Chain A
Amino acid sequence: MSTPSGEDVKPDTSKIRIGVQFNGQYMHSSVSTPLLFSYDWTEVFFLYKKTKPLAKLLIMFCERIKVDRKNIRFNYEGVNISREETTAEDLEMEDGDVIDGQLWQEGGSFER
């Protein structure tokens, strides 16, 4: 691969494979519209830079499985990944590690 000015671009070795897994069973689009549906187990791996914020990767995953990002909470070994700037390097992730997607849960009790 080369740039328009002819310089060679070296392959990027800073990327690792990061998996994202999700197996939601219940989902609602918002508090006011309680739509429930089931969703099968899904796992996708991304080749992704360790130093790049994971926020974009998680959005790509949500777009791929067509679920609103707000409806999934992502954890890696129990650490919630909600800050925009968190990277795989911050979480000390290694090649092949997997992030867990869990349903965003909220409650009060009665349907309104």
Chain B
Amino acid sequence: MDSPLVNDDEEDEHYERTWVAAHWIGCGREYHNNPPVVEAANLPDKNMSIAQLLVFEVPPIEDPMDDDTEWFLTEPASPDVRELVPLLSIPSRDVVQHLLNELGQAWFDGKQSLHTSINPEVALPFWVLTYWLVILDAAEAKDRWIAASIWSDKVGKTREELGMKRAVKDLWKKIAWHGNLPGFGSSLPVLDLAGFFSQDYLAGNLVDAMMRLLSVRLAESAGPVSNSTLVVDTPFAQYIELLHPDLDGIRPDNISPSALKYLDKYGSWFQSPDHTHLYFFLHRPPRHWTACEIDFKSKHIRYGDSLRWKRPQDFFDALDSFVAEQFAGAKFIVTDDLRYAYQTDGYNCPIIAVNTVAHNVLGDALWTPGTANGLRMKAFCEITEYTSSGRAKVCLYPPQRAPSHLRKGPLRPILLYE
């Protein structure tokens, strides 16, 4: 089947270099893209720490009462609104996004300012929309970190948790609230880390960050296991799933070369007689994380599910086809006896899956309900400390290839260490 080809043909791109207002404004053009917003004021500093964000004053957010408001005005913006804007209530994200969508066409139609029913008397310049979006980002981040703070105050009861809580609060003074943590492949948004201080589900990027720390611990350990064992990221299982054979045992022919190249890297690693174990994380739809071990020496695959659900046969058929290909058709035994902790709540399976691998590879104690909250806080501390420790330079297999723009120069500093 031929795949469709879409030409991203930006015919108007040359206009950006030779902007002539008369070619655009008030001459019936159709608007398609947002123009660059030229000015913003009093924005929250993106380098302020999480602790500073927690006390940052955010203007009240409220929705305009009347949906039929004529937002855009033909009159120019009121003079000297720069000082006034931070004091005004701001609309919700839905309203701001709606206004941004409408802005370009309104601009072409000759509108010069906007107002809302919250502050109808003030004609605001267009840049206020970008300002509002940044404030809304800060407000949402503040809400999540406030919830995180409440959670950590509530759970920090045991001696271990109290110590961990102090470490957490200390890190909150050093980490910038905005942006991404370097050292985790392409990126890891700082805001996603707030999920550790909650009963929220955790996504694959956080599981991968915890997996990377396990890999680093493994690489730094002096024992022979560091050369023979590999812990891999969540795309591994997702790529393996693509290999699921049909009823006739035939593998799909539409797997991308990128996916095959990724799997080939691990296939090559399997071949070495010095390599004995590979651990990976498997997501069970809709919301469950589990762990798995491939033991090449004994031709054994061990699965560990904290809820003791039935093994997903489709996935293991695909995995079987992959390992058989690497070992000249050898048959691997699959069992459910990877040592793991039993989950007693509805939200800690990603922590338990990582703990399962840490227990089997590095001898960590198994997760218990009593250590559950401390392990969530510990994961946060380890991830954030890792980015500033220089351990990101530890060489892992396969070499983690960061995009070249990340390799070229220093990353924007995100940790506020002195």
Contact = CB atoms under 8 A, between A and B. Distances in A.
B185 interface: yes
Interface in B231-273: 233-235, 238-239, 242, 252, 254, 256-259, 261-262, 265
Interface residues of A, number: 61
A104 B235 contact: no
Interface centre among A47, A89, A90 (most CB of B within 10 A): A90
Contacts of B285: 25-26, 36
B256 A107 contact: no
A108 B3 contact: no
Contacts of A3: 14, 18
A4 B12 CA distance: 11
Interface in B166-202: 180, 185-187, 199-202
B348 interface: yes
Contacts of B7: 15, 46-47
Interface in A18-56: 19, 21, 23, 25-26, 28, 31, 34, 36, 41, 43-49, 52, 56
B82 interface: no
B403 A83 contact: yes
Is chain A's binding surface mostly helix, strand, loop or mixed? loop
A112 B201 CA distance: 11
Given A56-B8, A109-B288, A19 B349 contact: no
Interface of A: 1, 3-5, 9, 15, 17, 19, 21, 23, 25-26, 28, 31, 34, 36, 41, 43-49, 52, 56-57, 60, 64, 73, 75-83, 85-87, 89-92, 97-100, 102-112
Interface of B: 3-9, 11, 14, 18, 23, 180, 185-187, 199-205, 208, 233-235, 238-239, 242, 252, 254, 256-259, 261-262, 265, 283-289, 306-307, 343, 345-350, 401-406
8 contacts: A5-B18, A31-B200, A41-B252, A44-B3, A45-B4, A46-B8, A106-B287, A107-B202
Given A34-B287, A104-B203, 16 more contacts: A1-B11, A19-B256, A23-B242, A25-B285, A36-B285, A44-B4, A45-B4, A49-B8, A78-B262, A82-B186, A86-B403, A100-B258, A102-B235, A108-B346, A108-B348, A111-B287
